[in-house]
Structure 1
Amino acid sequence: MNSPISDLILVNLDAPCHAKLPMHRRIFEIVRRAILDRSIQAGTKMPSTRSLSVEFGCARNTILQAFEQLRAEGFIEAHTGSGSYVADTRPSHGNTATRRKVHTPRELSARGKRLTQFPSRQHFEIEGLVPEVDGFFQFPHKLWQKLQTRHWRAPDQSFLDYSRTGGHTGLREALADHLRLARSVRIDPEQILITAGTQQSLDLCSRLLCDAGDPIWMENPGFWGAHRIFSANEFKIRPIAVDDEGINPSEADLATRPRMIYVTPSHQYPTDVVMSLARRRLLVDFASRHGAWILEDDYDAEFRYNGKPLASLQGLDDQNRVLYLGTFSKVLYPGIRIGYIAVPEDLLEGFRIGLSDVQRPGQIAVQAALADFIREGHFASHIRNLRNRYGQSRAILQYTLQKFLDPAARLSQADTGLHMVIHLPDDCDDVEIAVAAGRKKLAVKPLSGYYFAPPASRGLVVGYGYTPLEALAPAAKILANLVNGSIGKSGKILADPVPRESWAACD
């Protein structure tokens, strides 16, 4: 007569989830699951291996293998002279008779909820007027593959380990040379730390320079990714207004003592303005006098279409209060996940330890290939090609929008970066226009959504990096028509930041 356990095994033996498992493993999995969900109670006697081998028509060794695994993992116990029994796998702490089930929270922490209640990247990332059409059209795939293959043919042993020195030495040297020439950054290779992109750089700076509750300044409107990092670290964020010369602290702002100041001086994100020299000097002087750290995020300064790229804010700093942050996401491709921080000398040792112990950087082989890409001149050539292409894109977009837009709409005039802004009259609903553009398969973002305090102006943030040249003029005409139709329309001026739920239709 079959036992209940043998019947249970027979019923489940040919289940699809077990189809690819050998016989002994099927038996083990069926019995194990039944014990865990208490279909088989503790103390139940197991059938003999001999009887099961007869019932299943398999070798006894197959059954023995399954039983040995069950015993090894504590699911059954062998009692000398009487056979095997199901073990009691319940937790041993507490009195079983009086133990009550405790319902532990199965949800994120308060910090986790703040971070994830609204998926920022989906709604704020400036990707392109006509997204997912062209994308990484000029990335030199074959050359990049060749450089990586070169290093893997005879790999250095360090490629397989964590980086404990701040990144691949060759890349740090190549970067230092590039930054000194192209961005007037005053830096030695030892002061450069390689990170997994700007978000990691911001998080590392936040952890090492500030404590929870510390006041920090942030441009308003500003970069949503930085705001997320600072919120996660529980800083007191003070939004500082931005005008046509960049960050513009008021007298009330200047009376505060921020621990850290985050800025995008070479191409303000998202308003498209370039910080004036006067404001740069004011900021550096303020930080020096009050002991504040400045985080300079130079995310797309390589793309300046008239004249040479502007010198960095860090190059004006005589008191070593500026940490310079850069990334290869814009100039190569986002998935490369390589960024860097130029750190003042007196912070270097602490940053090196923090990077190594907290973030465990790697991808040394990719860093080595990137070092060759820079040293051999491919990077400079790639930048020239991109600058030429993006310059054409910007010119076409500017010309078409200026030609067709209502005069009440003002186009930003900075000649740099991969996006521009259409500034709208206050009675225009930029969210509504962005939603309407989305229905026309155009990806633009409402400027009001980038404010961390009540929005001071309305506008549309228009990216063009992924858009083919031939698609720009038609897309700009459609967008201009949508804007013109909204101008003069009566509507309530929103006094608060746009409700996040309104963003879903913009994507």
Structure 2
Amino acid sequence: MPAVLLTDMLTQKLNRDGGEPLQRQIYNVVRQAVLDHKLVVGQKLPSSRTLALELGVSRITVALAYDRLIAENYLSAKSGSGTFVAQTTVRPLNVSAAASHSKQSMMLSQRGAQIATLPGGVKQSHGAFVPGVADASAFPFHLWRRLIARHVGKGELHLSGYALGGGFAPLRAAVASYLRISRSVECEAEQVIITSGTHQSIDLCARLLADPGDLALVENPCHWAFPTVLSASGLKVGPCVLDESGLSLAASHVPRHARLVATSPSHQYPTGAVMPLARRLELLQHAREMNLWVLEDDYDSEFRYDGLPIPSLQGLDRDERVIYVGTFSKAMFPGVRLGYLVVPSHLAATFADASAKLYRPGQLHTQAALADFLGEGHFAQHIRRMRIEYAERQSLLRASLERAFGSEITLSPAHAGLHLFARFDSLTPKATLASEVQAENLIVGFPCFSGECPELEDRSIVLGFGGVPQATIGDGVARLARAVERTQRKHRGSARAALR
């Protein structure tokens, strides 16, 4: 514990108006901190002179308390080095039965327990084959560092506060301009709400557009973030039918209490399906008839390899019921943690105000740098360069998988994105496969299916290539093939044993 923290602890507990001497109070506070392991063995304490000065007491008062603690083996003094917490076998005082029972009853709430069981992403941000991450090593940090430095200093103190009003105004304008050109999104700067990423964007939509207990519909399978964040926000989550043309509301069961539907029409995660124009218009029509808000997740729209990006669903919407969700984490680097919403004009002020009330956002220096990064053309240049690189990585990964697995595996189309969706012809139980790929020092993603879909879950994996250098893709696929072969062999052995 740094000296200033010990001073803070003592300052909170010393009673200068009471009858107990300050020397004894200091002794009791430090002794209890040692017993409670707040002060750990070997930790250096401030000198008696320093502590006395900071507490505003005489040095002899602190020295006498230290002397008693040293004599009772709570502290030890080393000549020329200072005073330290001693090695001791003393344990905290016994807790009463009532206090013990109280601690045991202090458990998670029902919501907390539910969140603990919800799906989550992989805990790595690089390597073969972490899904959905960009290659941070390819990002022009030399430019980013210069842009950040431009906005850090006493001359930019207006950027040191909270980001009110939906975010840094020049960034909102730059995002709106970029989306109008690249994604055919119909919006003005005031409709852009800057967030700390897709998760916060989903949470804000859930809180403002639905009530606890309302139903949110998601694609089946979908990205794990949607069911996790929507459920944590108090909504119920139900599956929608997903086919080769994307989400189909017409083929799905949509209860009356459904309020939201989340979709990724331009590059569905994880299957890679692209929603054609006819299905998009059908989706908007059914959303109108069922009075649903549509969350359009366009998380990796920049990386399209078979032509120009597909225009957004939002650009086709004439009822102002589509909320467009985007992120910079895929296009730049994962830790940038900046995303955005494009909301209907009549809700823009409400969303901006709610974002400020709920999250008290900041990062204005980063937002200012990003506005320059977009406005000066660095973002577009980076996208063009990485689109070529990622296309080559995807092609190499696809070829390596086809050589290793042949007809035993079916891969998603090569339209866009930073991952491939792979489906095995034979059952490959995901619990066993997860263990086997870990043994090969690999990471793969497993699709998030809603409802009971054990066979689909045990045939499908997601392979990211964004953070995998080309030179390592072939070796990674070879290790994956070994892990899959061991998994399937174990499964066949278990099946034979069950028949005996």
TM over 0.5: yes
- Aligned twin of 2:478: 477
**What is the CA distance between 1:17 and its match in structure 2?**
9.0
- 1:294 and 1:155, CA in 2 relative to 1: closer, same or farther beyond 3 A? farther
Partners in 2 of 1:253 and 1:400 — Cα distance? 40
Partners in 2 of 1:20 and 1:167 — Cα distance? 35
- Aligned twin of 1:103: 102
**What is the CA distance between 1:216 and its match in structure 2?**
1.4
- Aligned twin of 2:450: 452
Contact persistence 1:412–1:421 (CA under 8 A)? yes
**What is the CA distance between 1:128 and its match in structure 2?**
4.5
Partners in 1 of 2:305 and 2:116 — Cα distance? 37
- Aligned twin of 1:116: 116
Q: What is the alpha-carbon root mean square deviation over aligned residues?
A: 3.6
Partners in 1 of 2:173 and 2:465 — Cα distance? 32
DSSP-derived class of the 1:120 partner = coil
**What is the CA distance between 1:21 and its match in structure 2?**
7.5
Partners in 2 of 1:478 and 1:32 — Cα distance? 57
Partners in 2 of 1:469 and 1:35 — Cα distance? 57
- Aligned twin of 1:320: 320
- 1:215 and 1:149, CA in 2 relative to 1: closer, same or farther beyond 3 A? same
**What is the CA distance between 1:377 and its match in structure 2?**
0.5
- Aligned twin of 1:339: 339
- Aligned twin of 1:157: 157
- 1:266 and 1:18, CA in 2 relative to 1: closer, same or farther beyond 3 A? closer
Contact persistence 1:294–1:323 (CA under 8 A)? yes
2:450 maps to a residue whose letter is F
Map residues 36-47 of structure 1 onto 2, 5 A cutoff: none
Map residues 299-378 of structure 1 onto 2, 5 A cutoff: 299-378=299-378
- 1:245 and 1:128, CA in 2 relative to 1: closer, same or farther beyond 3 A? farther
**What is the CA distance between 1:31 and its match in structure 2?**
3.0
Deviations along 1:110-169, one digit per CA (max 9) or x if unpaired, are 11111124671237x785425699941211111111111111246333212112211111
Partners in 2 of 1:475 and 1:115 — Cα distance? 33
- Aligned twin of 1:10: none
Partners in 2 of 1:152 and 1:19 — Cα distance? 28
- Aligned twin of 2:15: none
Partners in 2 of 1:17 and 1:378 — Cα distance? 43
1:61 correspondence with 2:58: yes
**What is the CA distance between 1:215 and its match in structure 2?**
1.3
Partners in 1 of 2:5 and 2:254 — Cα distance? 69
Partners in 2 of 1:297 and 1:108 — Cα distance? 31
- Aligned twin of 1:56: none
1:331 maps to a residue whose letter is A
Partners in 1 of 2:4 and 2:287 — Cα distance? 67
1:236 maps to a residue whose letter is K
1:129 maps to a residue whose letter is A
**What is the CA distance between 1:65 and its match in structure 2?**
7.9
Corresponding residue to 2:28 among 20, 31, 38: 31
Deviations along 1:391-441, one digit per CA (max 9) or x if unpaired, are 110010111212332313211114210000111125332443343222222
Contact persistence 1:257–1:292 (CA under 8 A)? no
Partners in 1 of 2:182 and 2:440 — Cα distance? 40
- 1:66 and 1:199, CA in 2 relative to 1: closer, same or farther beyond 3 A? farther
Q: Compute the TM-score of the two structures, normalised by the length of structure 2.
A: 0.76
- 1:446 and 1:352, CA in 2 relative to 1: closer, same or farther beyond 3 A? closer
- Aligned twin of 1:463: 464
Deviations along 1:201-254, one digit per CA (max 9) or x if unpaired, are 111111111111101111111121221111112212111132211113464514
Q: For structure 2, which runs of at least 5 residues remain unmatched after alignment?
A: 12-21, 37-56, 65-97, 496-500
DSSP-derived class of the 2:324 partner = strand
DSSP-derived class of the 1:358 partner = helix
